[in-house]
């Protein structure tokens, strides 16, 4: 029998299957570390301020987002416990329902904001003083107009007047005893309150507090 040419033998050897155990494994990239959750961004047309904002030169227009707002006396973020089945939203949007938690669930509320979808308006009928966020006071004259942002609690609301942020106290609305109210509401502000929470299983999202069943732990004064 004739021997195969050496060149053909070498070619056949190159085509022969190799032992899988001898085949080097391809490098597999290590998984990327999880990224930290970013705060819920405000919309492009939304003015964003904080509870510490004292000056706002331009007259605001809705929507206005007040970061850090907790809109009642004694309101605190922290461990909140649900009183009924509660919906958690993926984003601060009523159309983004993500999951529910049962009554008795301890949620960690770490932050929140109030979204003002319509500014309120108050007109000054009698001379008065406005308490400013800077700690000063500003005189108000009959005919002046205040824009109402969000409710603070105990009769006080955050307002804008002449480039500055202030607080309309209940006494300012009522005026001195025996006299007509110093401030007269024309339109009420319309707001939404959203709080960011994390569930015991690690899932997180937002509570639409205006539609959420009562939670305990949000009121430092006993609620």
Residues of the chain where predicted confidence (pLDDT) is lower than 50:
1-4, 6-13, 20-21, 23-24, 26, 28-36, 170-171, 174
- Residue 28 is predicted with a pLDDT of 47
Going along the chain, which residue ranges are E strands?
47-50, 64-67, 79-82, 86-89, 97-101, 106-118, 120-124, 128-132, 137-140, 145-153, 156-161, 164-168, 183-187, 190-198, 204-208, 215-216
Q: What pLDDT shows up at residue 123?
A: 94
- Distance in angstroms (rounded) separating the CA atoms of residues 173 and 151: 14
Domain boundaries for CATH 2.30.30.40 within the chain = 120-188
> What is the predicted pLDDT for the residue at 175?
52
Question: How much is the pLDDT for 171?
Answer: 43
| HSE-up (13 A, CA, CB side) for residue 139 | 3
User: What is the pLDDT, as a whole number, of residue 178?
Assistant: 58
Cβ neighbour number for residue 131 with a 10 Å cutoff? 17
Sequence-ordered alpha helix ranges (H) in 48-203:
170-174
Place of tokens 């007040």: 66
| The pLDDT value given to residue 1 | 45
The closest alpha carbon to 121, from 170, 62, 174, belongs to 62
Q: Residue 99: helix, strand or coil by DSSP?
A: strand
pLDDT at 137: 94
Cβ atoms < 10 Å from Cβ of 91 = 13
Looking at residue 154, its pLDDT comes to: 84
Q: Which fold has domain 62-116+190-223?
A: SH3 type barrels. (2.30.30)
Q: What pLDDT, on the 0 to 100 scale, is given for residue 223?
A: 56
Contacts of 117 (CB under 8 A, 6+ apart): 62, 63, 190, 191, 192
Q: Fold for domain 120-188?
A: SH3 type barrels. (2.30.30)
pLDDT at residue 35, as a whole number: 39
At 126 the pLDDT is: 93
pTM, two decimal places: 0.78
């Amino acid at each position: 029998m004739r021997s195969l040419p050496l060149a053909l033998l070498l070619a056949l050897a190159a085509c022969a299957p190799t032992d899988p155990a001898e085949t080097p494994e391809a490098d597999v990239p290590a998984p990327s570390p999880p990224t930290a959750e970013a705060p819920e961004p405000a919309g492009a047309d939304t003015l964003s301020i904080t509870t510490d904002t004292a000056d706002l030169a331009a007259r605001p227009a809705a929507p206005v987002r007040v970061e850090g707002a907790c809109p009642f006396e004694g309101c605190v973020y922290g461990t909140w416990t649900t009183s009924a089945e509660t919906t958690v939203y993926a984003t601060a949007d009523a159309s983004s329902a993500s999951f529910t938690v049962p009554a008795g669930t301890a949620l960690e509320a770490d932050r929140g904001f109030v979204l003002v979808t319509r500014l309120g308006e108050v007109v000054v009928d009698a001379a008065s003083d406005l308490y400013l966020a800077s700690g000063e006071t500003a005189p108000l004259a009959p005919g002046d107009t205040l824009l109402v942002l969000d409710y603070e609690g105990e009769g006080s609301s955050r307002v804008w007047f002449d480039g500055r942020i202030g607080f309309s106290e209940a006494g300012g609305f009522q005026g001195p005893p025996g006299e007509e109210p110093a401030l007269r509401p024309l339109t009420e502000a319309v707001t939404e309150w959203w709080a960011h929470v994390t569930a015991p299983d690690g899932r997180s999202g937002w509570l639409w507090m205006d539609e959420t069943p009562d939670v305990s732990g949000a009121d430092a004064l006993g609620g």
